[in-house]
Amino acid sequence: AIKSVETKMRIVIEDVFDEYDKEYYTYVSGKDGSLNKESDPGRFKDDEIGNQEVSYAIEFTDWAEWLAMDIDHESLSKYSELEIIGHCLLEMTFYGFTREDIKKAIHTIHKEH
């Protein structure tokens, strides 16, 4: 069994419009309250975009952390429990169906860069 590991990250699920493909897709990310302007002050100003929360890719996040993540309130109101479970499982297993598969994928990516 996996024991949860505490995290400030919460799961955010939203529909995003892809300008290139001209269609919507469901995007799963993590947010922890950090603002863009705090994460990269040289790049972001104190404006609408700078004051938005940083959106983190979480497909490589250890499953123990996924267990402890809250789900964003807005996501809970927009999606059913089954949709949330499905989107989270897809994101969690994007690079493999075991924690070891995901560790191998991370290692491969680090080797290539």
The pLDDT tens digits for 9-53 are 999 999 999 999 999 999 999 999 999 999 999 999 999 999 999
Decide: 88 and 81 in contact? Cβ < 8 Å: no
Per-residue CA distances from 19 to 24, 53, 104 (Å): 9, 22, 32
pLDDT of residue 113: 82
pLDDT recorded at residue 66: 98
| Amino acid at the residue 30 | G
107 to each of 7, 60, 103, 110, how far by Cα in Å? 23, 11, 6, 5
The mean pLDDT of the chain is 97
- Phi, psi (5° rounding) for residue 15? -90, 130
Q: Are 95 and 101 in contact (CB under 8 A)?
A: yes
The pTM for the full model equals: 0.89
Strands 10-18 and 23-31 come out as antiparallel
For residues 72-84, average pLDDT: 98
Rounded distance between C-alpha atoms, residue 79 and residue 83, angstroms: 6
Position 39 scores a pLDDT of: 95
The answer to whether residue 94 scores a pLDDT higher than 90 is: yes
